[in-house]
Amino acid sequence: MSIIAHEHAAESHVHRDDVGSRMGMWLFLFTELILFGGMFFLYAVYRFMHQEDFHVAAKELNTIIGTFNTALLLTSSLTMALSITAIQKRNRNLSIFFQVITIILALGFMVNKYFEWTSKIHHGIFPGSEELLAQNSGQILFFGLYYVMTGLHGLHVLIGMVLIAVMTRLTKRGVINADSYVKLEAAGLYWHLVDIIWIFLFPLFYLIT
Amino acid sequence: MSADTAIHINNNEPSYLEYRGKGTGIKSWIFSTDHKRISILYLVSLLSFFAVGVTLGFLIRLELIAPGKTIVEPQTYNSFFTLHGVIMIFLFVVPGLPAAFGNFFLPIMVGAKDVSFPRLNLLSWWLYIIGGLMAITSIFLPGGPADTGWTFYIPYSVRTGTNVIFTVFAAFVLGFSSILTGLNFITTIHRLRAPGMGWFKMPLFIWSLYSTAWIQILATPIIGITLVLIAIERIFGVGLFDPSLGGDPVLYQHLFWIYSHPAVYIMILPAMGVISEILPTFANRTIFGYKFIAFSSIGIALFGSLVWAHHMFTAGMSDTGQFIFSLLTFLVAIPSAIKVFNWVATLYKGSIDLQPPLYYALGFIFLFCIGGFTGLIQGSLAVNMQIHDTSFVVGHFHYIVFGGTGFGIFAALHYWLPKMTGRMYNLKTAKTAFWIAFIGFNVLYFPMLIMGWLGMPRRYYDYLPEFWPYHLTATIGSWILITGLAIMFVNLIKSVRKGPVVTKQNIWGGHTLEWSVPTPPPLENFEEVPVITEGPYEYKENEEAEPELQEVK
């Protein structure tokens, strides 16, 4: 009898609360926004202090690669949203298809980023390099922020890719289905956050020159 | 009658202490997702870290007993006060009440079976342990432990040869653990309150945890990123804060205090919640001004988030900035005073039952008042210039964080530990321990206020002979305090092992939900989720009896 009681207890310990899960995810996204907020704050202050240097430094970034990457990320957000709609409409294969597309687009973003960074480093612009240290302090700060902020964003893209890959697996196994897709939704929310942070990074580093 | 049979008689379901889950032995604890077991994990681990912190504090005081070198070299001394700060703040005081007692009692007090995300809860304990071990490991790695003070001020933290990266990263991991706890609590309070438990029927401890959780979520990420930036700065030489590369070290201080000032409220708010639970129970009377106490928690959280720059009045700031931050600092006193007045009013005309938890609660109020008033002294601009970075600040801070939060944790231990373990401690010993600790506390920290006022700088290894009497008194105070703490913990640990078994559900006569479940609580907390019809502190018997008492007079 006591064994049954124990099993019963263990069973009911797993409760389901989709609204609660979504709320938890949103709260987590707030913390992510504030994490990046600290750096946006640094950017704002240093831009105010070194307007001319930031202006000069921003010209060195490649707007075309930046725009292309923006397009990639925006499209990936669309495919992410489509994959959730697909699972809601009980079309599992379509959902998996869109998730895979999302991962591929994210991969494209990272590849671009890789070439962008390596070409910068090739030109001798990286933290602590002689080339950079010879420039004005505003330019040092601009590239410091550029590497840290896009680097941390890139890390989030990677985490997002792993997360979506896990979701794809869960969708394949049927754990994520038309009746229970809150996990996929949470991953989607995370992915949109990654997207929205880029939407702010792009103009701040590439467009305002 | 043995302990086990006693528990069985009391309830049909096994208590959380008996239910083993899948694993056995230690595995049934460290992989358990039961909020009560996780709470015990937290309690044991954070009290262990507390012991390490106390030892370091004891050594700091011993070094300062006389001018010049006494027991250690200056470099070791610097590491001592850094680790004392990091361990006490990030490993004991911040997680203290929310993670240990909040985890155990939040679900029970709102009438839930567990927190919203039990697995996340376990993850946050693991992160806590990983962070704690990293902080401890940094002592033994080449380079030696960090010597920057717990504030990690730049540029020194970028240039010192010690293991700053490791310590900073430990604090980052601990911050993440704290965020997960906060996130879990907010969701639980929003989603899992029992039917009928409206916002104003929640116990005040829950209100304080709710305010705390919001600060944990909104402030911790900022210190997270700031500490990561220190590590990045040290590894890659990015120069976001280093003045030689164009950065602004004062900006670092801003970012640091944007978190670390609200963090003081993360520490003190839950303690205030504990006091608001203990007072009505032992005054046997409804809490005075429930809504005022609830909203003052939110008020403290709100104002407390906007006062960070009062740590930097001497670091360079515009006059307007100084005035605004000074004003906001004074405003925090209002909700704090509201709480104190309401607590005192709760005791008025109560039928007071002087038990150990109430001793610690009253100790809290006394020490918190001294801490609060000395805080106001520092908030005024002119005086701040005089006492900035003196041991006056250290004294003030310890009155708030040790006298406040520390005694709050001790009060919670004496109030709730019998409920958690089902065994009672020796009441008389607990009272003796309180008096020794309370006297030792004041002998230790009050001289700091005086010598700080006279100009003794904080964190100094050596000092002028004229400060010697104060340092000597403080060191003797530390011995008295540690004696008190030792008696207290031996008493509590003895009670857990072989104290008399308690089977009574309502040990102290409290009216909140945790006193309506068996002692110790069963795995599921409630056989049936209760329906709440009245507020948490409805002491009707006493209130009805009151007119009669007046007639007798």
Nearest CA in chain B to A128: B237
Look up the CATH number of domain A21-207: 1.20.120.80
Give the confidence band of A8 by pLDDT, cuts at 50, 70, 90: very low
Q: Are B437 and B481 in contact (CB under 8 A)?
A: yes
Residue that wins the pLDDT comparison between B336 and A134:
B336
What DSSP line would sit under B90-123, residue for residue? IIIIHHIIIIIIIHHHHHHHHT-SS-S-HHHHHH
- B520: cis peptide before it, omega within 30°? yes
At residue A2, the pLDDT reads: 39
Residue that wins the pLDDT comparison between A12 and B504:
B504
Q: Is residue B145 part of a domain?
A: yes
Per-residue pLDDT for B2 more than 50? no
Asked if B221 lies within 8 A of A38 by C-beta distance, the reply is yes
Q: Is residue B405 part of a domain?
A: yes
Asked if B245 lies within 8 A of A144 by C-beta distance, the reply is yes
At residue A13, the pLDDT reads: 47
Q: Which of A200, A188, A102, A71 is nearest to A145 (CA)?
A: A200
Identify the residue among B238, B258, B524 best suited for mutation to test binding to A, counting A beta carbons within 10 A and taking the highest: B238
Per-residue pLDDT for B16 more than 90? no
Nearest CA-CA distance, residue B497 and chain A, Å = 26
At residue A22, the pLDDT reads: 94
Range of B296's domain?
A: 33-422+503-547
Other beta carbons less than 10 A from residue B86's beta carbon:
25
Q: Is the dihedral of CA A43, A47, A53, A57 positive or negative?
A: positive
What DSSP line would sit under A124-135, residue for residue? T-STT-HHHHTS
Could you give the angle at which helices A137-173 and B204-236 cross, rounded to 10 degrees?
A: 120
Secondary-structure percent of chain B, ordered helix, strand, coil, rounded to 5: 70, 0, 30
- Of A28, A38, A147, which is closest to B225 when you measure between CB atoms? A38
Q: Which of B307, B316, B226 is nearest to A41 (CA)?
A: B226
Cα angle value B476/B482/B485 (rounded, 5°):
145
At residue B275, the pLDDT reads: 96
Cβ-based contacts of A3 with chain B (< 8 Å): none
pLDDT in tens, B455-507: 999 999 999 999 999 999 999 999 999 999 999 999 999 999 999 999 899 99
Nearest CA-CA distance, residue B490 and chain A, Å = 34
Average pLDDT over residues B29-39: 92
Per-residue pLDDT for B19 more than 80? no
- CB of A28 within 8 Å of a chain B CB? The answer is yes
pLDDT in tens, A34-54: 999 999 999 999 999 999 999
Average pLDDT over residues B102-123: 94
- CB of A5 within 8 Å of a chain B CB? The answer is yes
- CB of A38 within 8 Å of a chain B CB? The answer is yes
pLDDT in tens, B494-553: 999 999 999 899 999 999 999 999 989 998 898 888 898 888 888 765 555 444 444 443
Spatial distance between the Cα atoms of B97 and A10, rounded to a whole number of angstroms: 27
Residue that wins the pLDDT comparison between B99 and A127:
B99
Nearest CA in chain B to A7: B21
What number is the ipTM of this complex? 0.88
Spatial distance between the Cα atoms of B290 and B18, rounded to a whole number of angstroms: 37
Spatial distance between the Cα atoms of B44 and B416, rounded to a whole number of angstroms: 15
Nearest CA-CA distance, residue B154 and chain A, Å = 15
What DSSP line would sit under B390-417, residue for residue? BHHHHHHHHHHIIIIIIHHHHHHHHHHH
Identify the residue among A6, A34, A183 best suited for mutation to test binding to B, counting B beta carbons within 10 A and taking the highest: A34
Asked if B229 lies within 8 A of A141 by C-beta distance, the reply is no
Asked if A42 lies within 8 A of B255 by C-beta distance, the reply is yes
- Of B19, B182, B191, which is closest to A20 when you measure between CB atoms? B191
Residue A66 makes CB contacts below 8 A (sequence gap 6+) with: A202, A205, A206, A207
Q: Are A32 and B221 in contact (CB under 8 A)?
A: yes
Q: Both tokens of residue B98?
A: 């929310």
Spatial distance between the Cα atoms of B378 and B312, rounded to a whole number of angstroms: 11
CATH, residue B362: 1.20.210.10
- CB of A203 within 8 Å of a chain B CB? The answer is no
At residue A134, the pLDDT reads: 85
Spatial distance between the Cα atoms of B38 and B127, rounded to a whole number of angstroms: 13
Residue A177 makes CB contacts below 8 A (sequence gap 6+) with: A87, A90, A92, A171
At residue B8, the pLDDT reads: 41
Could you give the angle at which helices A18-49 and B204-236 cross, rounded to 10 degrees?
A: 50
> Which of A125-129, A178-182, B34-38, B66-70 is the least confident region?
A125-129
At residue B547, the pLDDT reads: 45
Spatial distance between the Cα atoms of A171 and A162, rounded to a whole number of angstroms: 14
Domain ranges within chain A, ordered by starting residue: 21-207
pLDDT in tens, A71-104: 999 999 999 999 999 999 999 999 999 999 999 9
Q: Is residue B103 part of a domain?
A: yes
- B155: cis peptide before it, omega within 30°? yes
Q: Say what percent of chain B tops pLDDT 70.
A: 95
Coil, strand or helix at B223: helix
What DSSP line would sit under B148-183, residue for residue? STTTT-TTHHHH-SS-HHHHHHHHHHHHHHHHHHHH
Q: Is residue B484 part of a domain?
A: no
Nearest CA-CA distance, residue B5 and chain A, Å = 15
- Mean pLDDT (chain A) is 90
Per-residue pLDDT for A60 more than 90? no
At residue B246, the pLDDT reads: 85
Cβ-based contacts of B12 with chain A (< 8 Å): 5
pLDDT in tens, B145-173: 899 999 999 889 988 888 888 889 999 99
Q: Is residue B41 part of a domain?
A: yes
How many independent structural domains does chain B possess? 1
Asked if B220 lies within 8 A of A12 by C-beta distance, the reply is no
Nearest CA in chain B to A139: B246
pLDDT in tens, B409-444: 999 999 999 999 999 999 999 999 999 999 999 999
Cβ-based contacts of A39 with chain B (< 8 Å): 225, 229
> Which of A4-8, A56-60, B47-51 is the least confident region?
A4-8
Spatial distance between the Cα atoms of B184 and B106, rounded to a whole number of angstroms: 11
Q: Which residues of B touch A (CB under 8 A)?
A: 12-14, 19, 21, 33-34, 113-114, 116-118, 120, 179, 182-184, 186-187, 190-192, 217-218, 220-222, 224-226, 229, 232, 236-240, 245-248, 251, 255, 523-524
Q: Is residue B418 part of a domain?
A: yes
Spatial distance between the Cα atoms of B313 and B51, rounded to a whole number of angstroms: 34
Q: Which of B365, B461, B356 is nearest to B411 (CA)?
A: B356
Identify the residue among A22, A140, A190 best suited for mutation to test binding to B, counting B beta carbons within 10 A and taking the highest: A140
Which phi and psi (to 5°) does residue B380 adopt?
-80, 135
Q: If you search the block for the tokens 């006591």, which residue do you land on?
A: A2
Q: If you search the block for the tokens 């906060």, which residue do you land on?
A: B182
Spatial distance between the Cα atoms of B185 and B105, rounded to a whole number of angstroms: 11
Cβ-based contacts of B192 with chain A (< 8 Å): 17, 20
Give the confidence band of A208 by pLDDT, cuts at 50, 70, 90: confident
At residue A124, the pLDDT reads: 86
